[in-house]
Structure 1
Amino acid sequence: MNIRKSVLISIVTLNIIGISGCANMNQAQCETANWQAIGYEDGAAGARDSQFSQHRQECAKYGITANIEDYLHGHDKGSKKYCTQTNGFFLGMKGQNYNRNCPQDLAPVFLRGLTDGKQIYSAQRVIDSADETLERLYIRIENFEEVILDKNNLMIADGLVRAERLEIRQQIDSLEISMLELIELIPEYQDAHSRAIRNYESVKQSFANYF
């Protein structure tokens, strides 16, 4: 059986039985394990070759010895699929960090892509922050509007003397001044949000070769 067919069969098997870094291998899985395919799957998923230690311990419980040579051979092939500049770029876009899971000869290329992707991730974070800041501003303005509405309803309620109505009127005036100060900030916050979007588009365009 050639390696491509072997790996394909193993991938299907792994999906069915749910072998992963967090799952335990049972006795049947250890007995029928294709260690080269398992190593490939771990490497292609970005797991370090130290993942073999967990597999070894799991199978040792059943008196089964894991084949480290086959595993490392498969892991090396899987790592070549994972540790590319393009994959590093898209992982960087998601904000993921490097966990030293690439072989020494592949790490520089992968890290170059990861660094490029993180520039887009950082630009997106600035947009998110500006968006959240603007949203909080709108919420604060809405809260003032609600309080002012309640105060207006209270001011015309029955049973209040003139002095009480005047006091409420003064409270409303103060609230309105504070709300207007916030409203005046809207253009500034909107500009910051727009700048963040333009910067994001500029950064993304500079890495158009990845898309």
Structure 2
Amino acid sequence: MVQPRLFGLGILLCVGGCAGLSQQQCLKRDWYHNGMADALDGRSTNQLDDYEKQCLKHGIKPDRQRYREGYADGRRDYCTAGNGYRLGLHDMPPRTEWCSNDDFTPFRESFESGQKKYQQIRRQQAQEAQRRHIEQRIRTIEIELMNKDLSDGRKQALESERRRLETQQIIDRVLPEGGVRFTW
């Protein structure tokens, strides 16, 4: 069974390992948990060869046995519903060929649930970015409108744009899921 404390482990290890391992990282690496995280993330055992190449540059040899033990345990827990949800939530591709028929349905359903949550989070992030963009543009327009040398035509265009942006802000508050998006 996937332990909750391992849910982000694969991502953390990748952050530390994908760009190249330092001497400290090679020395302090927990090779068992590294193997488990790689399996839970659906990586192949070839990943160990990459770690070994990186660590040998520092004169350090990974504990291949501990890595393989962790990998075997992670591989056994890969097809759990919890891991399926985690993979979906982090938009990681599933290795469904690793799952037996008994494990596949709960894994797939949980993966799809995680994917839906991931997509919801991405939509919310996009909406927040749009909201910040509109607020910034309104502030920029207001600053530009303070310019006393502004032509009447430019002033009218800026005021019109500000009204459109303020209307969009109201619509976004009323329909927070982005039901209407104007392209001005």
Find the counterpart in structure 2 of residue 189 from structure 1: 172
Aligned counterparts of 1:136 and 1:172: Cα–Cα separation in 2: 21
Pair 1:71–1:189, CA change in 2 (3 A):
closer
% identity of equivalent residues: 18
RMSD: 4.3
Pair 1:78–1:177, CA change in 2 (3 A):
closer
Find the counterpart in structure 2 of residue 124 from structure 1: 121
Q: What TM-score does the superposition give when structure 2 sets the normalisation length?
A: 0.57
Find the counterpart in structure 2 of residue 103 from structure 1: 98
Q: Is the contact between residue 48 and residue 102 of structure 1 (CA under 8 Å) also seen in structure 2?
A: no
User: Which of these residues, 146, 155, 176, is aligned with residue 143 of structure 2?
Assistant: 146
Q: Is the contact between residue 40 and residue 71 of structure 1 (CA under 8 Å) also seen in structure 2?
A: yes
Pair 1:148–1:131, CA change in 2 (3 A):
same
In structure 2, runs of 5+ residues without a counterpart are: 1-12, 55-62, 179-184
Q: Is the contact between residue 41 and residue 92 of structure 2 (CA under 8 Å) also seen in structure 1?
A: no
SS, match of residue 91 in structure 2: coil
User: Which amino acid counterpart does residue 75 of structure 2 have in structure 1?
Assistant: S
Pair 1:55–1:76, CA change in 2 (3 A):
same
Aligned counterparts of 1:55 and 1:173: Cα–Cα separation in 2: 62
Aligned counterparts of 1:133 and 1:38: Cα–Cα separation in 2: 38
Find the counterpart in structure 2 of residue 162 from structure 1: none
User: Which amino acid counterpart does residue 180 of structure 1 have in structure 2?
Assistant: R
In the alignment, structure 1 residue 180 sits paired with structure 2 residue 175: no
Find the counterpart in structure 1 of residue 71 from structure 2: 75
In structure 1, runs of 5+ residues without a counterpart are: 1-14, 30-34, 59-65, 156-167, 197-211
Residues 38-89 of structure 1 show CA distances to partners (whole Å, capped at 9, x for unaligned) of 865643564324446668999xxxxxxx999x98676333212333111221
User: Which amino acid counterpart does residue 90 of structure 2 have in structure 1?
Assistant: K
Residues matched between the structures, number: 150
Q: What TM-score does the superposition give when structure 1 sets the normalisation length?
A: 0.51
Q: Is the contact between residue 92 and residue 115 of structure 1 (CA under 8 Å) also seen in structure 2?
A: yes
User: Which amino acid counterpart does residue 160 of structure 2 have in structure 1?
Assistant: I
Q: How does 1:1-12 map to 2 (within 5 A)?
A: none
Find the counterpart in structure 2 of residue 200 from structure 1: none
| Displacement after TM superposition at 1:142 (Å) | 1.5
In the alignment, structure 1 residue 84 sits paired with structure 2 residue 83: no
User: Which amino acid counterpart does residue 131 of structure 1 have in structure 2?
Assistant: E
SS, match of residue 98 in structure 2: coil
Q: Is the contact between residue 148 and residue 175 of structure 1 (CA under 8 Å) also seen in structure 2?
A: yes
